[in-house]
Chains A and B, each alone.
Chain A
């Protein structure tokens, strides 16, 4: 039997009077890096918020690591990085990460480890407000890594980063998955699809495809993820699962 990190059954979410996720069902396997791709406004962040349990949902069921999303038992096991970096600008990098480590009761050694993992050791004592946008989003990531979560839910963690850093972070994600952790990573950048074990293509709140990249390329006859995605959109409602 397949082991799932996230199981979503007929999820319906309405935000500000508009239906964002009409009726979404999907399963995300454990121990893999699953990429959540889709155009701006397609509902990626909304889906992610539902998975971490901060989104009010109208109906449907979201189970995470076997428990209902947002339940108390999950709060140590799920790490969440919001799309806009949610960190304290007036504290140093290390103070931010230490705060989240303290909340979770993690040992102090983990703090420096997490700061090093996002390559900010040389800026550890700098106030976050004095960092660049990409650096700030890495601080936000470090605050999630420090808790050693079983499931990491990352909303566009590589936006605004240069190719070298993006490669390093994806290597970090891959090594976390190799340790048996599950990752759900949203992205705008279609070429990051190559790095994912599975892809979830979202359009207007509906799953357009839930497949591996090779499956996707074979089904569409496209050469890369971007053209595969465009091909799927052109075909209309047809769904690849």
Chain B
């Protein structure tokens, strides 16, 4: 692996994104619109403070999952991946390049969405804001890692998009957003204890609810980071230098 090749790959992915203004716009505006809508629906109730924070954990994951799985599938089908793997490019350079580029995007998205939630929608955040942003970035990297993994199983872009509900919706249902995780039936609770999005949402909730959430957030972040590593390792197995 090489730092230079990782960085130039991240730079190239960002340059591609930059040329696609509409995608950038959607990545930044859609979370704000949804947060605003929720704040409006639940105005004069305390509900938004709970759900709003959880959603800040869900957006970066979902958005980066979709963007990454489609982008890497495009590399597979256009032949650019085959070509890159005949160069000194290591699989790790490729994957970390993507993770880095979308991590940068995630920082921007997290800043915009958090700012909107706090200053426009009046979300109460008891803990430090920087921790909120850190969790959002880690979450986005998780989405990127799982998106890379998912794209290995898709043959067409239609399939890649269908993986969104398949990989993401079950996690969304079980992450504690609809029913608190400790009130789920046993089997579902075990499942939710394994799935990474649960920890992203837990971390977000801790930051908004507690004034000193550091320890809780660090623990959740550890689990998410573990998932990132696992997804990247399995994802790299789906990048084959030789194909049939």
Contact = CB atoms under 8 A, between A and B. Distances in A.
Interface of A: 15-16, 52-56, 70, 72, 75-76, 78, 80, 82, 84-88, 90-91, 95, 99-100, 102-105, 127, 143, 147
B16 interface: yes
Contacts of A102: 4-5, 8
Given A75-B87, A76-B88, A86 B244 contact: no
A56 B8 contact: no
Contacts of A15: 244
A85 B82 CA distance: 12
A30 to B, nearest CB: 19
A55 B241 CA distance: 8
B20 interface: yes
B85 interface: yes
Interface string B125-166: 000000000000000000000000000000000000000000
B87 A56 contact: no
Nearest to B81: A86
Interface in B226-244: 241-244
15 contacts: A15-B244, A52-B86, A53-B241, A54-B241, A56-B243, A70-B86, A75-B87, A78-B86, A80-B83, A84-B78, A86-B80, A91-B19, A100-B87, A103-B84, A127-B19
Contact of A55 (B8, B85, B242): B242
B16 A91 contact: yes
Interface string B1-42: 000110011001001100110000000000000000000000
A70 B242 contact: yes
A24 B241 CA distance: 22
Given A54-B242, A88-B12, A90-B20, A103 B85 contact: no
B22 to A, nearest CB: 12
Contact of A103 (B5, B78, B243): B5
Q: Which 9 A-B pairs have the closest CB atoms?
A: A86-B79, A102-B8, A75-B88, A86-B83, A86-B80, A82-B79, A56-B242, A90-B19, A99-B12
B89 interface: yes
Interface of B: 4-5, 8-9, 12, 15-16, 19-20, 78-80, 82-89, 241-244
Most-contacted residue by chain A among B78, B83, B242 (CB, 10 A): B83
A72 B79 CA distance: 20
Contacts of A105: 4
B8 A104 contact: no
Contacts of A143: 83
A166 B218 CA distance: 61
A155 B28 CA distance: 42
Contact of A90 (B5, B16, B242): B16
A147 B86 CA distance: 12
A95 B15 contact: yes
Contacts of A87: 80
B14 to A, nearest CB: 11
A16 B83 contact: no
Contacts of A99: 8, 12
Contacts of A82: 79, 82-83
A98 B86 CA distance: 17
A103 B88 contact: yes
A75 B87 CA distance: 5
Most-contacted residue by chain B among A16, A99, A104 (CB, 10 A): A99
A53 B86 contact: yes
A5 B130 CA distance: 57
Contact of B86 (A16, A54, A85, A91): A54
A15 B243 CA distance: 10
A88 B84 contact: no
B12 A91 contact: yes
Nearest to B84: A103
A102 B5 CA distance: 7
Contacts of B241: 53-54, 70
B242 A86 contact: no
A103 B244 contact: no
Nearest to A100: B87
